[in-house]
Structure 1
Amino acid sequence: MKTLDNTTIFITGGSRGIGRAVALRCAQAGANIVIAAKSVEPHPKLGGSIYTVAEEIRQLGAQVLPLQVDVRDALELTQAIDQAAEHFGGLDVLINNAGAIHLGNIQHTDLKKYDLIQSINHRATFIAAKAAIPYLKQSAQAHIISFAPPINLSAHWLGLYGPYALSKYGMTLLTLGLAEELKADGICCNTLWPATLINTAAVSENIGTEAAQHMSRKPDIMADAVYNLITGACGHITGQSLLDEQTLNLAGITDLADYACSPEHADRLAKDLFIN
């Protein structure tokens, strides 16, 4: 197994779901983990907090810094990145995982919800990247990964979820722009998105536990995709909008059946949003 010893990974929104899975996977490989999220108490329905994940990471023998951060607050987020770099002596990977979802069209989206998804999704990506760049420039294996989809201008998706699409495509555009801006500095910048639904508490809450079990993959597939991307197992990649299964294929992993929550339904998984 390739090691992430002596690397520091800053994950926004890593208290549950995919963020937690990524944190644990990288911790297993020896990385220092910074969990930057709002939750200091487990959510009554979704569970998880920065402290519960921090304890899981410690049990793996890795170093962790849990920080309560509202990514909408530019000062809080910037100071958290500064604190993380000071605490661990640098920063190697920024993962923009924090996100807010809203499945509604323009007519069914009020301004408060619109502002929320824009500020948590693409605005926080901008703030975090801008704060992290000076530290990433000093790293020999710097990477920015944003959990955002390939830009799909299908009228179907735009008509259904225009405001949410804007917020996530904004993350994609910023990340691809960073790839070009920072290529001379050796900083890889890519987006990563699940090809299928991922069985998180939030997904189960929206579509039902049984449906999620039958139609989804485990968060581990995203965690393994991140791991292979930042360790270089996929090769030197920057400026790409990647899917989880595509990333694993590049690393030579082609049998993805074990990632299905229900292996007997592995050939009937539901595609994620914005994937045709």
Structure 2
Amino acid sequence: MSTSTKPIAVVVGASRGIGRQVAIDLAKAGYHVIVSAKSTTPLSSLTTLSPFPPDPNSPQSTITTVALEITQLGLSATAIPVDTTSQTSIENLIHDIITSHKRLDVLIYNTGAIHWGPLSTTPLKKFLLLQSVNPTGLYITLHHSLPHLKSSPLGGRIIVVSPPIYSRFFRGKTAYAIGKVGMSVLVKGLAMDFDREALPLPDKNRQKGMAITGIWPAVAIESAATEQFTRRDQEYKRDLRKPTIFSDAILAILDAPAERVNGELLLDEDFLREERGVTDFGKYSLIPGANPKRIMPEVLPDLRVKEQDDEGMRIDSSKL
């Protein structure tokens, strides 16, 4: 399949860890992948990188090296840098994708700034960075992507790395939680817009409607974020899974009917169990034979109310 006929997926935040794995596995599944993040490697330096590919959780892993990994597998990828704190940079990313490929079918927003600490020790500068990269970066990316996703012959799919909404998530990381839960609210709200706008598609081969889905790990995953803990405590690795569980869950979401996943805030393990019938998760353990501890609740609250479908008077203030 030529690049021009492959579905186009952009992974924002694909230079290391989970995002890198998602990009590679999307390419293996037949997508042309736009590998996007801030970090790049000068082409002149690629020949001196040893070993290659570099440690996927190290600064040596960039969108340049990930795209090269994919193409060396005989698969299809392009590296395009983006700074998600810059509206101009995001706009340029989407413009370059459409100019080169004429379409956009899948958007994965994996990028994220992390700071876990109480409000009293979180400087305002750090708080503003968290909101800039997390909910604001996502919002801008969606604004520039939506017109093209709506034109996708696949119906257009969006997957956001954001958590289920529940009380314990806020503990000890309020500034971070504000941004990440804000992303989950965006998933819920945009999904309702999609439901309202959904119309039967004329081509029976097209999936019905668009979908936006949140995805979060049930068990901690090896990544650049968890690397700091494993450096201090090697035993911590026993509680980690490989990032392949996350990419497997994302591929399962993309394969599911839009109405099954639109507006859902899913956990990787639980969705694979329910949707794919997976019962043995041992292959995902970072340490063979280990039984990693689940970090997410077994049962999450249902956010719906009995008046869910009663909106009262719906007002669009932009049209007043």
Moved runs in structure 1, 4+ residues, more than 6 A?
Answer: 273-276
CA contact (8 A) 1:10 1:95 kept: yes
Q: How far did residue 62 of structure 1 move?
A: 2.3
Q: Tell me how far 1:227 sits from its aligned partner.
A: 0.8
Tell me, yes or no, if structure 1 residue 200 matches structure 2 residue 213. no
- Distance verdict in 2 for CA 1:30–1:212, change over 3 Å: farther
Match of 2:190 in 1: 178
> Structure 1 regions of 5+ residues with no counterpart?
none
What amino acid does structure 2 have at the position aligned with 1:251?
Answer: R
Q: Following the alignment from structure 1 to structure 2, what is the Cα–Cα distance between the partners of residues 234 and 40?
A: 34
The AA in structure 2 aligned to 1:143 is: R
Tell me whether 1:261 sits opposite 2:273 in the alignment.
Answer: no
Identical positions, percent: 33
The answer to whether 1:147 aligns with 2:170 is no
Note if contact 2:164-2:266 (Cα within 8 Å) is conserved in structure 1: yes
Matching of residues 91-170 of structure 1 within 5 Å: 91-141=104-154, 142-154=156-168, 157-170=169-182
Alpha-carbon distance, 1:158 to partner:
2.4
From 276, 281, 290, the counterpart of 1:251: 276
Structure 2 segments unaligned to the other structure (5+ residues): 42-53, 199-208, 301-320
RMSD over aligned Cα atoms? 2.3
Q: Using the alignment, how far apart are the partners of 1:139 and 1:254 within structure 2?
A: 34
Letter in 1 for 2:77: V
Alignment partner of 1:230 is 2:274: no
CA distance in 1, matches of 2:248, 2:257: 11
Query: Counterparts of 2:250 and 2:103 in 1: how far apart (Å)?
Result: 20
Does the C-alpha gap of structure 1 residues 53 and 17 become closer, same or farther in structure 2, counting only changes over 3 Å? same
Cα 1:234–1:189 shift into 2, 3 Å: closer
1:29 is aligned to: 29
Q: Deviations over 1:85-114 (max 9, x none)?
A: 221220011111000110111101001111
Report the AA paired with residue 189 of structure 1.
Answer: I
Q: Deviations over 1:219-276 (max 9, x none)?
A: 000011011111228984211000001121112222211101113222x425169998
1:56 is aligned, of 69, 72, 75, to: 69
- CA distance in 1 between counterparts of 2:252 and 2:265 reads 15
State the TM-score, normalizing by the size of structure 2.
0.78
Deviation at 1:152, TM superposition (A): 1.1
Residue 115 of structure 1 deviates from its aligned partner by 0.7
For 2:78, what is the secondary structure of its paired residue? Answer: strand
SS of the equivalent of 2:36 reads: strand
AA aligned opposite 1:129? L
Deviations along 1:45-94, one digit per CA (max 9) or x if unpaired, are: 44310100000111222221211111110111122012112212200111
Q: Which amino acid aligns with 2:71?
A: R
Contact 1:197/1:272 (<8 A) preserved: no
Larger radius of gyration: 2
Contact 1:18-1:219 at 8 Å conserved across structures = yes
**Secondary structure of the structure 2 residue equivalent to 1:91:** coil
Task: Indicate how the Cα distance of structure 1 residues 88 and 238 shifts in structure 2: closer, same or farther if over 3 A, else same.
Answer: same
What amino acid sits opposite 2:13 in the alignment? G
More deviation, 157-166/237-246: 157-166
The one-letter amino acid of 2:32's match is N
Matching residue's letter, 2:147: P
Q: Distance in 1 between matches of 2:297 and 2:38?
A: 25
User: Conserved in 1, the CA contact under 8 Å of 2:157 and 2:210?
Assistant: yes
Distance across 1 between alignment mates of 2:124 and 2:72: 43
After superposition, the Cα gap between the structure-2 partners of 1:275 and 1:148, relative to the gap in structure 1 and judged at 3 Å, is farther
Q: Which TM-score applies when normalising by structure 1?
A: 0.90
CA contact (8 A) 1:105 1:162 kept: yes
